[in-house]
Amino acid sequence: MGSDAFLPVALAIGYLLGSIPFGVILTRWAGTQDLRSIGSGSIGATNVLRTGRKELAVATLLGDALKGTAAVVLCNHLGGANAAMLAGLGAFLGHLFPVWLKFRGGKGVAVYIGILLGLFWPAAIFFCLIWLAIAFSFRYSSLSAFVASLLTPIMLFAVNHTALAALSAVLTVLLFYMHRENIKRLRAGTESKIGEKK
């Protein structure tokens, strides 16, 4: 299969890997309350933390990140850089809109990091450092994600990773869309802080 012919396959591989709902699987195995019935209803690590099971939240974070990494590394090996980029987009879309959960998934932060890790690891480190700085300062997971995802495409463009900067910008737009209710709550002063169970 030629590299161009492999591109839609890479997108599909990324989507299927990205749609694995680690948060739902792990909390179900642990016998906790249905993850989608608490907090924000999201399947990501921040909502898993609201179950009070920190180890499950960490495992979900790692699983969600590494499925993004796996998608881009695998497709880079099979089809090259363009295939890896499309696999990253597919993984992100799969996490946001997983076919197994009626297209209601997570908000994408961990997968975003995992995609960056597979494509250009310094960008993943940059994202995480910004996220942590904002999280420690303000204790809002959503605000941390907004700032980190806004600055990451700018950093990538500044270091001449223009194709990845473009992909990162697309992921940022999707991330903001998935956090639209968080934006409303931040503006109203009702957004939950990290570790709160409400």
Tell me: the pLDDT tens digits for 4-55? 889 999 999 999 999 999 999 999 998 888 888 887 778 998 889 888 889 9
pLDDT(114) > 70: yes
Structure tokens at 80: 């090259």
Separation CA 31–CA 161 (nearest Å): 44
Please count the other Cβ atoms lying within 10 Å of the Cβ belonging to residue 73. 17
194 within domain boundaries: no
72 within domain boundaries: yes
CA dihedral of 166, 69, 183, 165, whole degrees rounded to 10: -10
87 within domain boundaries: yes
96 within domain boundaries: yes
Q: How confident is the model at residue 186 (pLDDT cuts 50, 70, 90)?
A: very high
**The predicted structure's pLDDT at residue 36:** 83
106 within domain boundaries: yes
193 within domain boundaries: no
**The predicted structure's pLDDT at residue 2:** 57
Residue (of 79, 93, 112) closest to 9 by Cα position: 79
195 within domain boundaries: no
Tell me the whole-structure pTM to 2 decimals. Answer: 0.94
Separation CA 119–CA 121 (nearest Å): 6
- Mean pLDDT value across residues 73-86: 96
Q: What is the pLDDT of residues 130-181, one digit of tens each?
A: 999 999 999 998 999 999 999 999 999 999 999 999 999 999 999 999 999 9
162 within domain boundaries: yes
- Mean pLDDT value across residues 62-75: 98
Separation CA 93–CA 196 (nearest Å): 27
**The predicted structure's pLDDT at residue 72:** 98
pLDDT(129) > 70: yes
- Mean pLDDT value across residues 116-130: 98
Structure tokens at 192: 């939950």
Q: How many folded domains does the chain comprise?
A: 1
For residue 45, give its domain range. Answer: 3-188
pLDDT(198) > 70: no
Separation CA 102–CA 69 (nearest Å): 24
What 8-state DSSP symbol labels residue 159? T
Structure tokens at 177: 């869309």
pLDDT(62) > 70: yes
Separation CA 83–CA 97 (nearest Å): 20
